[in-house]
Chain A
Amino acid sequence: MTQTRSGWLLAATALVVMTACATGTGTQPATPADAAVRGTPGGPDRATADMEALYRARIDSARSRFTDADVEFMTGMIHHHAQAIEMAQLAPTHGASGSIQTLAARIINAQDDEIATMQRWLRDRGQPVPEVHRMEDGRVMVHTPGMQHGGGHGHAMHDMPGMLSDEQLASLRAAKAADFDRLFLTLMIQHHKGAVIMVHDLFATDGAGQDEDVFRFASDVQVDQRTEVARMELMLQALPPAEDLQ
Chain B
Amino acid sequence: MRPVPLQELRTRTVPLRAGALLAAVAMSLAACASSAPSAGSGQPAPQTSDVMPFARALQTVPSPDPRVGLGAGLFDAEEAIWNLRQVAFMPPPDEFLGVTNSDLAFTGDYAIQGNYNGFQIWNVSNPAQPTLEIGFVCPASQSDVSVYRNLLFVSGEGMGGRLDCGTEGIREAVSHDRLRGIRIFDITDIRNPQYVGNVQTCRGSHTHTVLEHPGDTENVYIYVSGSAQVRPEDELPGCVAASPADDPNSALFRIEVIRVPLQNPELAAIVSSPRIFNDLVAPPTHGLAPDDIREIEEARARGAFIAEVMGQTFVLPDQFVRPMLDSIVVRRGGTGAPTAQDSATLRAALPQMIAAMAGAREQGDGPRPGPTQCHDITVYPAIGLAGGACEGYGLLLDIRDPVNPVRIDAAADSNFAYWHSATFSNDGSKVIFTDEWGGGGQAKCRASDPMEWGANAIFTIENRQLDFKEYYKLPAAQTPVENCVAHNGSLIPIPGRDVMVQAWYQGGISVFDFTDPNNPVEIAFHDRGPIDPDQFSMGGSWSVYWYNGAIYSSEIARGLDIFELVPSAFLTQNEIDAANTVQLDYLNPQGQPHYAWPASFALARAYIDQLERWQGLSAEEIAEIRGSLVSAEVLSGAPQANMLNRLATRLDGNVAGSRDAARVRLLADAVRALAAR
Contacts and interface: CB of A to CB of B under 8 A. Distances in A.
Interface residues of A, number: 78
A215 B141 contact: yes
B637 interface: no
B232 A110 contact: no
B394 interface: no
A106 B444 CA distance: 11
A231 B133 CA distance: 47
B364 interface: yes
Interface in B298-321: 310
Contacts of A227: 371, 391-392, 417-418
Interface stretch (A134-142, A153-161, A168-176, A197-205): A197-205
B2 A41 contact: yes
B173 A37 contact: no
A241 B360 contact: yes
A48 B76 contact: yes
A114 B173 CA distance: 25
A238 B361 contact: yes
Given A40-B129, A238-B361, A51 B141 contact: no
Interface string B384-411: 0000000110000000000000000000
A59 interface: yes
Contacts of A47: 1, 3
B366 interface: yes
B229 A46 contact: no
B369 A233 contact: yes
B391 A54 contact: no
A102 B438 contact: no
Interface in B435-449: 437-439, 441-444, 449
Residue among B131, B191, B229, B366 with most chain A CB within 10 A: B229
Contacts of A235: 284
A12 to B, nearest CB: 11
A230 B132 contact: no
Interface string A102-125: 110010011001101100100000
B100 A224 contact: no
B169 interface: yes
Interface stretch (B83-91, B488-496, B568-576, B602-610): B83-91
Contact of A23 (B94, B131, B310, B369): B94
23 contacts: A23-B94, A32-B132, A33-B131, A38-B131, A39-B90, A45-B2, A45-B3, A46-B91, A48-B75, A51-B75, A55-B98, A99-B284, A110-B417, A113-B443, A200-B229, A203-B173, A217-B441, A224-B438, A233-B369, A234-B412, A237-B361, A238-B310, A241-B361
Contacts, number: 210
The 10 closest A-B pairs by CB, nearest first: A58-B98, A220-B439, A39-B89, A48-B3, A32-B134, A230-B369, A55-B98, A233-B369, A227-B391, A36-B132
Interface string B16-34: 0000000000000000000
Given A113-B443, A212-B141, A234 B171 contact: no
Contacts of B370: 230
A226 B536 CA distance: 26
Interface residues of B, number: 78
Interface string A24-38: 110000011101111
A44 interface: yes
Contacts of A217: 439, 441
B284 A234 contact: yes
B439 A51 contact: no
A40 B98 contact: no
Contacts of A59: 98
A187 interface: no
A183 interface: no
Given A20-B94, A226-B391, A39 B3 contact: yes
A235 B116 CA distance: 38
Contact of B91 (A37, A117, A208, A219): A37
Contacts of A106: 417, 453
Nearest to B558: A55
B442 A117 contact: yes
B269 to A, nearest CB: 26
Contacts of B93: 35-37
A20 B96 CA distance: 12
B429 to A, nearest CB: 28
B158 interface: yes
B559 A62 contact: no
Interface string B478-503: 00000000000000000000000000
Interface in A57-107: 57-59, 62, 65, 99, 102-103, 106
B159 interface: yes
A52 interface: yes
A25 B97 CA distance: 13
Given A39-B90, A48-B4, A216 B391 contact: no
Nearest to B317: A98
Contacts of A18: none
Interface string B129-164: 111111100000100000000000000011110000
B198 interface: no
Given A209-B159, A210-B160, A120 B535 contact: yes
B339 interface: no
Contacts of A58: 97-99
B559 A39 contact: yes
B364 A237 contact: yes
A206 interface: yes
A41 B129 CA distance: 9
A32 B96 CA distance: 13
Contacts of B170: 210
Contacts of B371: 227, 230
A236 B87 CA distance: 53
Given A39-B559, A62-B99, 20 more contacts: A32-B135, A40-B129, A41-B2, A47-B3, A55-B74, A59-B98, A99-B284, A106-B417, A114-B438, A114-B442, A120-B535, A210-B160, A212-B141, A216-B439, A219-B227, A219-B228, A220-B438, A227-B417, A240-B357, A241-B361
A11 interface: no
A210 B441 contact: no
Nearest to A219: B228
Contacts of A24: 1
Interface in A140-198: none
Contacts of A120: 535-536
B271 interface: no
A62 B98 contact: yes
A51 B97 contact: yes
A231 B99 contact: no
Contacts of A133: none
Nearest to B96: A58
